[in-house]
Amino acid sequence: MSNSWDELLRMLVRANPQDFVSLVSSGTHYLSDITQKLITRTIEADFLCKAVRNNQEVVVHIEFQRAQDENIGKRMWEYNCITSFLTRLPVCSSVIYLWKDSNIVEPPYTVTLIDGKVIHILYYDNIFLWEMPPEVLKQKGLEGLLPLLPLTKDANKTRDQVIGDMINGLRAVGKEDLLALGYTIAGRVYDTEDDQQWLKRRFEMFHGPLEESWPYREIVQKGYEKGIAQGIEKGIEKGIEKGIKQGIEKGIEQGIEQGELRALRPVLVRMVERRFAELTHLAQQQAERITSPILLSSLIDKLFTIQTSEQARHILMEIEQAPDSHS
């Protein structure tokens, strides 16, 4: 599975951990995310969390796979054993497969001696989204999984309904911030030119909310490559593509930085334009002056928290004193 898909699904699961826990382990209640805490040289699981199942504390472990992997059983066993050792808790492991593929390794995974004696055995669950009826993800309590609807059974045959259900479902429960992730996933599934144009028209009315949502900003900040850029909008696509081209010519690090700047600058300006229209010109000036993606991202975050035009002006003028605002 490519890094872009890894990041995309990790963002979605972090936003809705209970929904994913419920999907892979019915009746289990999420407690806390321990993914980052347990990442070591030997374990880099996609998602790990403490949870309660039948009054017993456990760890729920989820891996996202875009394609079959002949070593997945061994990986799941290693992650399961190491996590259990580190937490002293039983670990329930599942693999969520995103795309239809053949020769997928089925559980359980066993470790045997040369004479056939089994010394280890791990039972884990395989979940195939392409076999899952969309109604499963539309259940009450699983609304945070709606961005995955384009990956469910027969989604290609019912494109209009799938996208409509995703949009309406997320809006109905106040999860509009996940539209950016839904748009991005849909852009990877419906990838013909006609599909792309249709998607852009379908999400056009949400242009402003998409830009202001945290997934949108996180995607921009990470400088996603062309695949995800195609799922958002032309501005980000151009920014990242130019960043990649510059990376080829001048070094990947510099290219990504330029791509991030090109993508973040219009986010800052549009945010100010929508909330404090009288400061739009100042925002344009300051956005062009900033040459640090970190500073620009921090400025955007600050603007999300303020309420008055005077506060916004003060924050925009702060960069005059910032040591890294100019090259």
Helix (H) or strand (E) holding 258: helix 252-275
Are the C-beta atoms of 210 and 232 separated by less than 8 Å? yes
What average pLDDT does the segment 150-158 reach? 87
Q: In this model, does residue 316 exceed pLDDT 50?
A: yes
Q: In this model, does residue 213 exceed pLDDT 80?
A: no
Give pLDDT tens digits for 223-253. 544 444 444 445 545 554 554 455 445 555 5
Helix (H) or strand (E) holding 128: strand 125-128
Average pLDDT, the chain: 80
Give pLDDT tens digits for 85-98. 989 999 999 999 99
pLDDT at residue 54, as a whole number: 93
pLDDT at residue 40, as a whole number: 59
Are the C-beta atoms of 185 and 8 separated by less than 8 Å? yes
The phi-psi region of residue 51 (left if phi > 0; otherwise alpha if psi is between -120 and 50; otherwise beta) is beta
Cα–Cα distance, 152 to 129 (Å, whole number) = 5
Are the C-beta atoms of 215 and 254 separated by less than 8 Å? no
pLDDT at residue 217, as a whole number: 52
Q: In this model, does residue 2 exceed pLDDT 80?
A: no
> 249 pairs with which residues across the strands?
none
Helix (H) or strand (E) holding 120: strand 118-122
Two tokens at 236?
Answer: 């980000």
Q: Strand, coil or helix: what is 251? A: coil
What average pLDDT does the segment 256-275 reach? 73
> 52 pairs with which residues across the strands?
29, 57
Return the higher-pLDDT residue of 268 and 146.
146
Give pLDDT tens digits for 52-76. 999 999 999 999 998 889 999 999 9
Residue 4: pLDDT band by 50, 70, 90 thresholds? low
What average pLDDT does the segment 169-192 reach? 86
pLDDT at residue 224, as a whole number: 43
Closest CA to 304 of 315, 295, 293: 315
Q: What is the pTM of this model?
A: 0.62
Helix (H) or strand (E) holding 111: strand 109-112
What average pLDDT does the segment 177-190 reach? 84
pLDDT at residue 18, as a whole number: 93
**Domain boundaries defined on the chain:** 3-131, 137-206+224-231
What average pLDDT does the segment 206-221 reach? 53
Residue 267: pLDDT band by 50, 70, 90 thresholds? confident
DSSP designation for 132: S
Give pLDDT tens digits for 42-51. 567 889 999 9
3-state secondary structure 25-72: CCCEEEEEECHHHHCCCCCCCCEEEEEEECCEEEEEEEEEECCCCCCH
pLDDT at residue 247, as a whole number: 46
Residue 283: pLDDT band by 50, 70, 90 thresholds? confident
DSSP assignment of 181-240: HHHHHHHHHS-SHHHHHHHHHHHGGGHHHHHHSHHHHHHHHTT--HHHHTTT-HHHHHHH
